[in-house]
Chains A and B, each alone.
Chain A
């Protein structure tokens, strides 16, 4: 055995580091007086003078918290020395993240001490989108939101003009533990327009599994013997505990991993077999696997007899449509013999076999049907709610926390566009068949731009969300933000979206706040909490405190407008005391008390005082933790003894209302959606001569645009590169590092070339989250290419999700 890679070879061979040394950046920014360099130039004694701080051997405080560098919420122990966070270590007590922190988790310190952070409230003074602001006090910022300035109207004017139609304000939020806090503001405010990340993220996978199995399951990768990972990249898009569980047993060590991906990813490198599939054709692959299982009768007959609805219909459909491996080979590029082998091997190992559900964005328009087909294929082997298969797991209860949901008579229903006279079997909406809780971001945006709203939407509150970077067609998002009369952003960083704000409210980072306590279901369920590690820096505040201040300012004045237009409130006021009526409309109520108090109550009310204290101290709690939790090796801990693990909680029974796996859903047909997964010609992979299919994705060192300005992560990956097939690059005279312009009907972006055999000749790839335009971001500003400047806004037909891999592009060397 002689795999030897020296530092020198590593430096030469690595894409990230081939750009020698740290790039010289000398941006002076408006938000701070600091220059970017290896050193901070702190004005606050609580900020370390150097970017990395060697941990000391003296006194230190350890605070249990949860990471927010991505959506996983891994448990961390923050080491604080003299008020400075010097290290984030994994918290071994959390069953979900099992004593690990990824590179981003380790680099969380740099999120707190980022010199470019938003530091104080600001109000727009220049042209919208130009990023010209003035520093104001919190009260001035709240006042501007209520009463406007000479540059923009406030809520009072908007609601007065819209006659108390609370839905004239849009609320949108990114994923996070405090998203719930912000959502309470949305509910109390009374708008019907809520958009979150779902339609840009996992809407179709969650719903596909939801309608088929009754829930989006977890994967017991710790015990699976056979794993098909298609369109998921757990070695790079880290998900806990899946990433830790998956790769310890591959490579002939107990679990066979089949990676299906158009690219040779790090997951492919760790797999036992890699199949380069044509983008967007996974559904044909699954249908062919299913064909083999039906024709060779490889399915689990007992499970199918007990827990399937519509099996014969689906079997009939798959067989009569002749979804043979030979048929699929032509569509997917995967050899028929491989499909036969995988189907047989999977079913041989089932129920300890997993077709990994994944949790990525929607890539192709057929994604909902793909997920349905995956779920059914999985269930055919009986690997549902069972060890080594997909599991539902247990979830620990939390106490209730009261919110406020007043009814405003003048608030219009959600701004969706219903068809006037839908034909039978046609979707009822213009944009998509089903409108989900999180809505369809791109469909909403496009309708707003095209003036196809049922009423006027005048402004938006945007929390921890970066629409400028996170959804296809950046130009249209910029137009939308410009068209809004009032844009209020609550964020930690001067993102591209913040540049379009009228009022900027600076939130503190996750290390400076306590968030709502959360329960984490699974085989080993637990409750975990994000404790504040240090007090908020600068003038920043947690979103809960921001909303408390804001609602104290706006609640009563806005109620006056409600009194003027709301007939129901007027009626009530005739019979009751005003204070009594107002109590139902008092926007400050959800934000009373501290988060710590609320968390304590939510835990103590169910598990007792001691449990609440323990959770606060350890960051993690579950009943019998004292008895169960123990260290069993340098790298291993026991969370639950084997017999206490919740592999099976329903004896294999799906969670659908019928208790069966739903193959054929008539209700979908009535909405214009195929009731069973079928292949359609329009799904075929097509790229015109001279063009390429553009793929996007993630890797382990960055989480979308949220971490794009992190100095430590930037140190690992300086910029994003465009993957282009080596032979194509040679033909075009493109060499490593050449600047490439990528363009589509939507727009163009530029980034450096990475010729490689890890991608096919008709496909290109680059990582999402780079190429920001906000000049206030030292490391992220114009660094690399922005995929969403190029990706077309293709709306997935079922939930209106953004289909991100449907764009063909041209490239040229510049």
Chain B
């Protein structure tokens, strides 16, 4: 029983996509450009060569925000989307009827259709792979060259993530929507 979240030191991100590949290999995600559980958003820099605005060219690693108040879970008519015992937002493929309400409801575009099972799929925080084996990191955190991610239990005040969130400024994506994401971007 935990409340898992993730802190992202996103300024470290070099957009190498190691996390995307690690995620696909670990979780057996199918190939295809749109079949991503996680991704890195990249903005082109503003301005004209050679006067480009470096700050505008940020990389933003992202994935399911595992919201405490997840719109995807609210709209699911079959309760396929649920919170597991660690407060991770999961999809029960057996219950999913691919109505795609959740995909539309998610403000973060975190969901996609797995063409093999014809159900909705998304980040699981490696719950059924790494965590199920007793490991303490997700595949994306573990492989990251610049160590963007810190995964851990938000309810454990001793955890590294709790310490980070106490001591570093951070923000959440689209916080005005009241979804209460469990992904935190460190500034």
A residues contacting B by CB (< 8 A) are 1, 3-11, 13-14, 16-17, 19-22, 38, 50-57, 86-90, 99-103, 105-107, 109, 235-236, 238, 240, 243-244, 247-248, 250-251, 253, 264, 266-276, 333, 633-636, 700-701, 711-713, 715-716, 718, 725-727, 756-761
Contact = CB atoms under 8 A, between A and B. Distances in A.
5 closest Cβ contacts across the A-B interface?
A5-B41, A54-B28, A7-B109, A276-B50, A700-B16
Contacts of B68: none
30 contacts: A4-B41, A6-B41, A7-B39, A10-B41, A10-B42, A14-B42, A19-B33, A51-B30, A55-B129, A55-B133, A86-B25, A100-B143, A101-B143, A105-B18, A106-B25, A248-B147, A250-B11, A264-B49, A268-B57, A270-B14, A633-B160, A634-B160, A635-B141, A635-B147, A700-B16, A712-B31, A713-B21, A715-B32, A716-B21, A757-B44
Interface residues of B, number: 70
A712 B33 contact: no
B45 interface: yes
B22 A101 contact: yes
B15 interface: yes
Given A7-B109, A87-B25, A107-B21, 17 more contacts: A1-B187, A4-B41, A10-B40, A11-B34, A54-B27, A55-B133, A57-B133, A87-B139, A88-B25, A101-B143, A107-B25, A266-B14, A275-B50, A634-B141, A700-B14, A715-B33, A760-B50
Contacts of B25: 52-53, 86-88, 106-107, 109, 712
B165 interface: no
A635 B152 CA distance: 12
B151 interface: yes
Contact of B30 (A4, A52, A109): A52
B171 interface: yes
Contacts of A275: 50
B33 A22 contact: yes
Contacts of B86: none
A740 B168 CA distance: 48
Contacts of B24: 52, 712, 715
A247 B129 CA distance: 30
Nearest to A269: B57
A6 B149 CA distance: 18
B135 to A, nearest CB: 9
Given A5-B41, A757-B47, A760-B50, A243 B146 contact: yes
B17 interface: yes
A718 to B, nearest CB: 7
B29 A52 contact: yes
A634 B145 contact: no
Nearest to A700: B16
B79 interface: no
A57 B129 contact: yes
A758 B45 contact: yes
B78 to A, nearest CB: 23
B125 interface: no
Contacts of B152: 634
B11 A90 contact: no
B43 A725 contact: no
A11 B33 contact: yes
Nearest to A76: B143
Contacts of B26: 54-55, 87
Nearest to B137: A634
A4 B143 contact: no
Chain B CB within 10 Å — which of A57, A103, A236 has the most? A103
A61 to B, nearest CB: 14
A137 to B, nearest CB: 35
Nearest to A716: B17
A634 B41 CA distance: 24
Contacts of A103: 16-18, 20-21
Contact of B17 (A51, A54, A248, A701): A701
Contact of A7 (B15, B36, B137, B146): B36
A100 B42 contact: no
A13 B45 CA distance: 12
B73 interface: no
Interface in B101-144: 108-110, 112, 128-130, 132-133, 136-137, 139, 141-144
Contact of B45 (A56, A89, A757): A757
A17 B33 contact: yes
B1 interface: no
A195 B47 CA distance: 45
B154 interface: no
A782 to B, nearest CB: 20
Contacts of B50: 275-276, 333, 760
A713 B30 CA distance: 13
A80 to B, nearest CB: 13
A258 B149 CA distance: 26
Contacts of A700: 14-18
B49 A20 contact: no
A369 to B, nearest CB: 25
Interface string B77-117: 00000000000000000000000000000001110100000
A222 to B, nearest CB: 13
Contacts of B16: 102-103, 235-236, 238, 700-701
Contacts of A235: 14-16
B143 A54 contact: no
Nearest to B132: A57
Chain A CB within 10 Å — which of B29, B32, B33, B141 has the most? B33
Chain A CB within 10 Å — which of B54, B57, B145 has the most? B145
Chain A CB within 10 Å — which of B21, B109, B147 has the most? B21
B15 A248 contact: no
